[in-house]
A and B are shown apart, each in its own frame.
Chain A
Amino acid sequence: MIKMRNVTKYYPNHSEPALAEINVDVEKGEFIFLVGPSGSGKTTFIRLLLREILPTTGEIYVAGIDVLHLRPWKVPYLRRNIGCVFQDFKLLPNKTAEENVAFALEVLGRSQHVIREQVPEILKLVGLESQGHKFPSELSGGEQQRISIARALVNHPPILLADEPTGNLDPATSLELMALFDRINKMGTTVLVATHNREMVDSMRKRVIALENGRIVRDQVRGVYGYED
């Protein structure tokens, strides 16, 4: 489902690579934790998969699509296969929570009928059924994060990328959402979660890819968060 070959990413004007010589294979239906200290390249990894940025060298395939050689006008079709929870949420400030979630469906051309049905459902799933009419600036940090999660999930994408999806959530809600991710994964979705949440990683025992200074230092089936040493 995801394949990276010798991917290196230098940001312009910066001499240190954010990612270096990354080789990763992810099968359809896997659940992966991406861990690593702050600044190790997790967000860069996700941005590459979304084609938000292009790698300096290397090849990337997502859902069978050659990301590098994708025509610009076809990029939206790639992204519609990927649900993404952004570290900084990336909610549209001029749309309400509901409208933000609905936008992911409107992009796909879903009918109003479907939208009116699915949006409240997913809001309920993340515990925000009563906050749908608020604008992002009127939501708490954790609520915004959950709206971002709801938007990523609402159109049942085959791939789910989540960048620090529980950074602003209390442990109980975090566990609930992880259980949700696990359920979705069991139904066939490939899930990749970048996180610092040791409790979560250790309790779920999924495949763990650990980054350090932009390099993969560990790729472990049924791994743990590590790093306490």
Chain B
Amino acid sequence: MGIPIGKLKPKKVRKNIDLTLWERLYIFEIIRGMTVTTKHFMANLVGFVLHAKGKKRNIITVYYPEEKVELPPAYRGRPVLVMRENGKERCVACGLCEKICPASAISIIAEENENGDRYPASYLLDMSRCVFCGFCEEVCPKEAIVMSSEYEGLAKRDRNDLLCTKEMLLRTENSVKGRIEYIRRIYAKCNY
């Protein structure tokens, strides 16, 4: 195991960095640096001024509230609960997510309905604690809680507004379809 210290041929990085007289004179290197920045400046200026509506800008900046970046399917936004067709949550209040959540952000009160099925009478998710780790999604046996791609509207003026109840968390299955498919794919059998 491992290469003993004598055998390793490291790469010396400082070899040709000694400055020539030319480079010592500040000014030429300064000009070189300035050409770099000026190049960026000019390119952006042109790209900025000549930019036509709808065309892709060559500037990297995203004009956020108007324009949004494309999120990869892996993106973990806020956790949301998935709704069944009947408008009820899929969650069976098994409590796994509550258990695994490192931030203890989830608190569930389980109850049984008339059919004898467990359901969460109250499902509180404290967004002011949630660290978007995705564990809840990973452990949930029912695909009932998923990390949606939502990230907007989370800023609040009051900390109490960040406490989300079940009603605030429920999303239709369609709206999180992509995510459900994604988790099915990544936690598929073939990966184990």
Partners in one complex: no
List residues of chain A with CB under 8 Å of any chain B CB. none
List residues of chain B with CB under 8 Å of any chain A CB. none
